[in-house]
């Protein structure tokens, strides 16, 4: 039997874009760890026995092996370290790698530092860098940016599921408005206003049906998560830790057009799945996580989630891939605002990628941290009010997502 | 390692290098490799924060290797696909080995594809990467080339953006020969000759409304 893995602490820097007094990536990592130590005074850097670094693109950082700069800045010479990269799912994949290390029994206390500095280039140059994670031989030249691929996928998905532009626009407004209660979020720090579904509908076209406020933010930020064995969690933070009861990681094609008729999917799920519309890797990794956590009915058993809302359309597609609704119920699920704070399964109370920000290597860790805060009753001390607290949250899902759905991980966190 | 990759007769041979007899330059004006160059800096009023500007451009060689026939075919106005001799699956974009696990990475064979396709899904882009901004709005479709198991992304021309529809028949049209560079941008889709747009409807009006500012915005570029 493998060991239980716990999330015992974590913090992010504020997320921003542009010329603020940014503290540097190694300074940001240090500050995240200092905040974690304020939350868990018993935690010492000497306890860590492995560091996993989570960083997407050296194009943004213009520094190869930037983790080496961070690592020795933290004073951790001699300690094993490596970097995980897996597109937008870099954070989730780093968490997965770190959890495996604890689960195996080989490591006890593992730190994960994630970061991205996307404001080192212009927005349009940044979009092109991200698009270099599409197949540049076939797609970069004709699409140019990721939202176009997502829009093409979402357009058909919405038609197939009777979902309207307004239905998904509610998500763009929800996550930004949740971020208004969270002082580290990019939306709160930079835009600082509540928006309506109408604002989303009237925002400029990016690629039909996706508009500006259906899209996440380009960001700069750093995050730190501390995971460990249950023995260590009980020692340093007995009242506030979460257990990773389930986890799954799955993959799909790099080019979305290649997932029509893919034999590996047909074998598992039958013909015409995932089509170009569904996130097969999300369904598959969720099924792994649910099985491990003993979850039979996710809608009933999961209280909330921090999921990868790169686009409001993809958050809606993820609901379906997580099994919260099917093709007959998804439109009504959206119209009933089931994932808003006032309803039964709030999604992205922390603000998500659209509200908090999306500094790629830090993003999945940010989601993990927000989920951890909910489960350990830390929201009142981390957010501005209790408006974005999920009352009595026992079980949360963390979702991290890459490419056009090319790599996706899901984690089930529970109150211990 | 080399024992696994090479056939016995190849083992004594050194690497066989291709002899390139055709070379074309179409470098746009102003594109040059500068290497690393610091080009400026800025310091905040309070003196606490400094930003420095680094410029770095590098020439990359995309080595198409076993995929070369597809890209060379574009120069000749042809769409090449590949087909698995075992299971018959055919692809554009190409695969040099079969995706079917039962075929055990069977090497595929080249087949010339018809210049016909069908829209699988579509979008109308009002924003894009730096190098595509001037072409906006762009109708981007994933088209299934006749006989292919997968869809390939490309632009749809010769249509009012709001008229694009699912399953519409397409033809593949190449740029004039002298403008081709051996990239997927050498061709685009156009509606098949038989196709007629359907009447205006609510969704088409919505798309038209959304792209109006895009037309105005693009006019402001030089
Ligand atoms: Zn085959």
Distance of CA B160 to the CA centre of its chain: 22
Instruction: Inspect the interface and report whether the beta carbons of B154 and A261 lie closer than 8 Å.
Output: no
Instruction: Inspect the interface and report whether the beta carbons of B153 and A141 lie closer than 8 Å.
Output: no
Q: What tens digit of pLDDT does each residue of A357-414 get?
A: 999 999 999 999 999 999 999 999 999 999 999 999 999 999 999 999 999 999 999 9
Domains contained in chain A, number: 1
Enumerate the β-bridge partners of residue B127: none
Enumerate the β-bridge partners of residue A11: A224
Does residue B206 sit in the same domain as residue B134?
A: yes
Q: Indicate whether A104 belongs to any domain.
A: yes
Out of B15, B31, B57, a domain closes at B57
Q: Indicate whether A63 belongs to any domain.
A: yes
CB within 8 Å of chain A, chain B residues 47-106: 48-49, 51, 54, 56, 62, 64, 67, 71, 89, 91, 93, 99-102
Mean pLDDT of B191-202: 98
**pLDDT confidence band for B163 (50 / 70 / 90):** very high
Mean pLDDT of A1-16: 93
Residues of A in contact with B99 (CB under 8 A): 262-264
Residues of A in contact with B124 (CB under 8 A): 205, 207-208
Instruction: Inspect the interface and report whether the beta carbons of B213 and A152 lie closer than 8 Å.
Output: no
Answer for the pair A38, A240: CB distance below 8 angstroms, yes or no: no
Q: What tens digit of pLDDT does each residue of B83-137 get?
A: 999 999 999 999 999 999 999 999 999 999 999 999 999 999 999 877 788 889 9
Distance CA B70, CA B92 (A): 9
Query: Chain A within 8 Å of B26 (Cβ-Cβ)?
Result: no
Query: Which residue in A208, A218, A405 has the most chain B C-beta atoms within 10 A of its own C-beta, making it the best mutation to test that interface?
Result: A208
Answer for the pair A242, A184: CB distance below 8 angstroms, yes or no: no
Answer for the pair B118, B168: CB distance below 8 angstroms, yes or no: yes
pTM (whole model) above 0.80: yes
pLDDT at A72 over 50: yes
Distance B82 CA to ligand 1 centre (A): 11
Does residue B89 sit in the same domain as residue B148?
A: yes
- A260 CA: distance to closest CA in chain B (Å): 6
CB within 8 Å of chain A, chain B residues 144-183: 144, 149-155, 166, 183
Tokens of A257: 């057009």
- A274 CA: distance to closest CA in chain B (Å): 13
**pLDDT confidence band for B1 (50 / 70 / 90):** very low
pLDDT at B222 over 70: no
pLDDT recorded at residue B34: 84
- A145 CA: distance to closest CA in chain B (Å): 6
Does residue B22 sit in the same domain as residue B84?
A: no
pLDDT recorded at residue B4: 55
Domains contained in chain B, number: 2
Strand, coil or helix: A270: coil
Answer for the pair B100, B187: CB distance below 8 angstroms, yes or no: no
pLDDT at A148 over 60: yes
**pLDDT confidence band for A2 (50 / 70 / 90):** confident
Q: What tens digit of pLDDT does each residue of A181-191 get?
A: 999 999 999 99
Exposure b/e, A143-158, CB count within 10 A at least 16 = b: bbbbbbbbbbbbbbbb
Distance CA A47, CA A10 (A): 15
Does residue B84 sit in the same domain as residue B143?
A: yes
Residues of A in contact with B122 (CB under 8 A): 152, 155
Average pLDDT of chain A, as a whole number:
96
Q: Indicate whether A57 belongs to any domain.
A: yes
Answer for the pair A62, B56: CB distance below 8 angstroms, yes or no: yes
pLDDT recorded at residue A97: 98
**pLDDT confidence band for B14 (50 / 70 / 90):** confident
Instruction: Inspect the interface and report whether the beta carbons of B125 and A206 lie closer than 8 Å.
Output: yes
Does residue B207 sit in the same domain as residue B139?
A: yes
DSSP letters spanning A288-305 = HHHHHHT-S-HHHH--EE
Of B51, B185, B214, the CB nearest to A142: B185
pLDDT recorded at residue A18: 81
Q: What tens digit of pLDDT does each residue of A324-371 get?
A: 999 999 999 999 999 999 999 999 999 999 999 999 999 999 999 999
Distance B172 CA to ligand 1 centre (A): 26
Does residue B15 sit in the same domain as residue B101?
A: no
Which has the minimum average pLDDT: A95-99, A307-311, B32-36, B200-204?
B32-36
Residues 6+ apart with CB under 8 A from A206: A147, A151, A212, A214, A215, B125, B126, B127
Distance CA B192, CA A181 (A): 53
CA angle in degrees (0–180, nearest 5) for A257-A262-A265: 120
Average pLDDT of chain B, as a whole number:
92
DSSP letters spanning A144-203 = -SHHHHHHHHHHHHHHHTT--HHHHHHHHHHHHHHHTT-TTSHIIIII-----HHHHHHS
Task: State which H helix or E strand residue A368 sits in.
Answer: helix A360-375
pLDDT recorded at residue B3: 47
Residues of B in contact with A258 (CB under 8 A): 91, 93, 150-151
Out of B34, B57, B80, a domain closes at B57
pLDDT recorded at residue B6: 61
Q: What are phi and psi of B217, to 5 degrees?
A: -65, -45
Does residue B80 sit in the same domain as residue B176?
A: yes
Does residue B202 sit in the same domain as residue B110?
A: yes
Mean pLDDT of B140-148: 98
Does residue B86 sit in the same domain as residue B134?
A: yes
- B8 CA: distance to closest CA in chain A (Å): 33
Residues 6+ apart with CB under 8 A from B151: A256, A257, A258, A260, A276, B120, B121, B142, B143, B144
Q: Indicate whether A402 belongs to any domain.
A: no
**pLDDT confidence band for B58 (50 / 70 / 90):** confident
pLDDT recorded at residue A143: 73
What's the half-sphere exposure (Cβ side, CA atoms, 13 Å) at B124?
25
Question: Measured between alpha carbons, how far apart are the two ends of chain B, in Å?
Answer: 54
CB atoms within 10 A of CB A329: 16
**ipTM of the prediction:** 0.94
CATH code of residue A24: 3.40.47.10
pLDDT at A122 over 90: no
Mean pLDDT of A90-94: 98
Instruction: Inspect the interface and report whether the beta carbons of A204 and B152 lie closer than 8 Å.
Output: no
**Where in the sequence is the domain holding B47, given as residue range(s)?**
2-57
Mean pLDDT of A32-46: 98
Q: Indicate whether A116 belongs to any domain.
A: yes
Instruction: Inspect the interface and report whether the beta carbons of B62 and A204 lie closer than 8 Å.
Output: no
pLDDT at A144 over 80: no
pLDDT recorded at residue B11: 63
Q: How far is CA B218 from CA A88, A317, A391, A402, in A?
A: 30, 32, 49, 31
Instruction: Inspect the interface and report whether the beta carbons of A152 and B49 lie closer than 8 Å.
Output: no
Q: Indicate whether A37 belongs to any domain.
A: yes
Distance A403 CA to ligand 1 centre (A): 26
**pLDDT confidence band for B9 (50 / 70 / 90):** low
Does residue B47 sit in the same domain as residue B114?
A: no
- A406 CA: distance to closest CA in chain B (Å): 16
pLDDT at A298 over 60: yes
Residues of A in contact with B126 (CB under 8 A): 204-208
Length of chain A equals 416
Instruction: Inspect the interface and report whether the beta carbons of B140 and A137 lie closer than 8 Å.
Output: no
**Where in the sequence is the domain holding A82, given as residue range(s)?**
5-120+219-229
Does residue B108 sit in the same domain as residue B204?
A: yes
Instruction: Inspect the interface and report whether the beta carbons of A148 and B123 lie closer than 8 Å.
Output: yes
pLDDT recorded at residue A145: 84
Q: What tens digit of pLDDT does each residue of A274-292 get?
A: 999 999 999 999 999 999 9
Q: Indicate whether A10 belongs to any domain.
A: yes
Q: What tens digit of pLDDT does each residue of B173-184 get?
A: 999 999 999 999
- A208 CA: distance to closest CA in chain B (Å): 5
């Amino acid at each position: 039997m493998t060991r239980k893995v716990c999330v015992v602490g974590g913090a992010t820097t504020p997320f921003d874009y542009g010329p603020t007094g940014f503290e540097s990536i190694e300074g940001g990592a240090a500050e995240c760890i200092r905040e974690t130590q304020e939350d868990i005074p018993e935690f010492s850097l000497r306890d860590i026995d492995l560091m996993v670094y989570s960083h997407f693109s050296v194009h943004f950082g213009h520094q190869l092996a930037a983790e080496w700069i961070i690592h020795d800045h933290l004073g951790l010479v001699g300690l094993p370290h490596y970097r995980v990269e897996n597109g937008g799912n870099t954070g989730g994949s780093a968490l997965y790698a770190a959890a495996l290390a604890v689960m195996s029994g080989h490591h006890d206390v593992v730190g994960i530092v994630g970061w991205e500095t996307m404001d080192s280039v212009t927005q349009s140059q940044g979009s092109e860098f991200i698009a270099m994670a599409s197949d540049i031989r076939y797609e970069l030249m004709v699409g140019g940016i990721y939202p176009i691929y997502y829009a093409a996928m979402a357009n058909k998905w919405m038609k197939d599921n009777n979902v309207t532009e307004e239905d998904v626009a509610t998500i763009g407004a929800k996550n930004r408005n949740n971020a208004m209660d969270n002082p580290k979020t990019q939306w709160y720090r930079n835009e600082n206003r509540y928006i309506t579904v109408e604002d989303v509908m009237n925002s400029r076209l990016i690629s039909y049906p996706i508009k500006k406020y259906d899209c996440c933010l380009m960001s700069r930020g750093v995050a730190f998560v501390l995971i460990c064995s249950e023995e260590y969690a009980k020692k340093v933070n007995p009242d506030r830790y979460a257990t990773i009861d389930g986890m799954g990681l799955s993959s799909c094609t790099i080019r979305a057009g290649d997932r029509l008729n893919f034999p590996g999917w047909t074998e598992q799920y039958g013909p015409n799945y995932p089509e170009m519309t569904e996130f097969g890797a999300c369904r598959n990794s969720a099924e792994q996580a649910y099985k491990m956590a003993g979850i039979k009915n996710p809608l009933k058993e999961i209280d909330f989630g921090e999921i990868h809302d790169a686009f409001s359309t993809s958050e809606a597609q993820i609901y379906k891939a997580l099994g919260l609704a099917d093709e007959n119920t998804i439109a009504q699920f959206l119209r009933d605002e089931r994932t808003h704070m006032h309803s039964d399964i709030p999604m992205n109370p922390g603000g998500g990628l659209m509200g908090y920000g999306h500094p790629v290597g830090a993003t999945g860790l940010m989601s993990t941290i927000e989920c951890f805060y909910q489960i350990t009753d830390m929201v009142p001390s981390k957010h501005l009010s209790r408006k974005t607290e999920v009352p009595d949250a026992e079980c949360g899902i963390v979702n991290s997502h890459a490419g056009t759905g090319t790599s996706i991980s899901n984690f089930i966190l529970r109150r211990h | 390692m080399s024992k696994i990759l090479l056939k016995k007769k190849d083992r004594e041979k050194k690497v066989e290098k291709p002899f390139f007899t055709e070379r074309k330059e179409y470098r746009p004006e102003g594109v040059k490799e500068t290497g690393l160059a610091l080009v400026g800096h800025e310091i905040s009023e309070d003196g606490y924060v400094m930003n420095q500007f680094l410029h770095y451009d590098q020439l990359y060689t995309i080595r198409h290797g076993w995929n070369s026939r597809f890209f060379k075919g574009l120069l000749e106005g042809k769409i090449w696909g590949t087909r698995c001799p075992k299971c018959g699956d055919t692809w554009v974009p190409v695969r040099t080995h079969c995706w079917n696990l039962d075929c055990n990475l069977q090497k595929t064979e080249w087949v010339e594809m018809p210049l016909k396709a069908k829209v699988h899904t579509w979008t109308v882009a009002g924003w894009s990467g730096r190098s595509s901004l001037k072409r906006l709005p762009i109708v981007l479709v994933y088209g299934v080339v006749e006989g292919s198991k997968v869809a390939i992304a490309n632009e749809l021309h010769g249509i009012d953006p709001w008229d694009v529809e699912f399953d519409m028949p397409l033809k593949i049209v190449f740029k004039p020969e002298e403008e081709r560079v051996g990239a997927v941008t050498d061709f685009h889709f156009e509606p098949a000759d038989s196709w007629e747009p359907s009447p205006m409807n609510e969704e088409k009006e919505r798309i038209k409304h959304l792209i109006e500012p895009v037309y105005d915005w693009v006019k402001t570029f030089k």
